[in-house]
Amino acid sequence: MTRPPTGPDARLPPFAVEARRSLTVFGAPVELVFVPARQQRGDRATAERPAFRRSRAATIAAEEALWRDERHLVTPNRYPFADHQRILWPAAAKRDPDLAMWTTICDWADAGGSALLNSIGAAATIARAHAHLLPERSPFLAALRERPLRSDLIDVPPGAALVAKDVPFCLLGVRGDAAPRAEALVRLAEARLTAACNVVVQDHTAWLFPRRAETPAPHFPFALGAAEVWGRWCYGERPPFAAATGSDLERALVAAGTEPLP
């Protein structure tokens, strides 16, 4: 397995943040960023988005690849929400990551960064599987209280374990080495009964946030994605950015997510 690149690259668009704020959500620190350029993304999750549109994924893969191997390729993110941000894609069209892609994602993040994944219905604007690779970590998830999870959701592969955050919504973690973690993620995809989900991979753990709502307005007036679950709340408009409170963001996570596992 070849690990995708990391670090600075002059071909990557800059993170064009105009303002930042800090808040506390469920006792853990989060960052709010005002990034108006992200409002220019095509097929954002709005009421006007059609059910079908010709996918741009093949064109992006053909014209924008910065790196590739026999299974995956990496492109820039035109509207980044982090510095030096890349996007990992499967070379063949897939709606969901397979075992090889999950293994690559987990291995890349374990080297010191984070990987974020959105599905359609959970803030993705393109249906083909893809992961945002960020060469940084966020303190939010690590600061949330945690509890063990005793569950028969899946047969957990040797070398992996299931955990959960002690919050009023489902935030299920898979912890372990990259290979067993990837296998557990494939098994959890079969066990998941919600169509939409966000995944954050950081600190040798993959966190799954299954979804029941995409845009938890009025608490957060945009599609809530893995960036927000990771701890960076991205605003495309200044008034809601300036007005947001920690309680608003707590309500947004509860409204967007599902009931916590027992």
* pTM for this predicted structure: 0.95
Sign of the torsion formed by the C-alpha atoms of 224, 257, 122 and 96: positive
Residue 63's contacts (CB-CB under 8 Å, 6 or more residues apart) are: none
| Token representation of residue 36 | 């108006």
DSSP H helical ranges for the chain? 57-64, 99-110, 140-143, 178-191, 226-230, 238-243, 246-256
Q: What is the pLDDT along the chain (262 residues), one digit of tens a residue?
A: 688 988 889 999 999 999 999 999 999 999 999 999 877 665 677 777 788 889 999 999 999 999 999 999 999 999 999 999 999 999 999 999 999 999 999 999 999 999 999 999 999 999 999 999 999 999 999 999 999 887 889 999 999 999 999 999 999 999 999 999 999 999 999 999 999 999 999 999 999 999 999 999 999 999 999 999 999 999 999 999 999 999 999 999 999 999 999 8
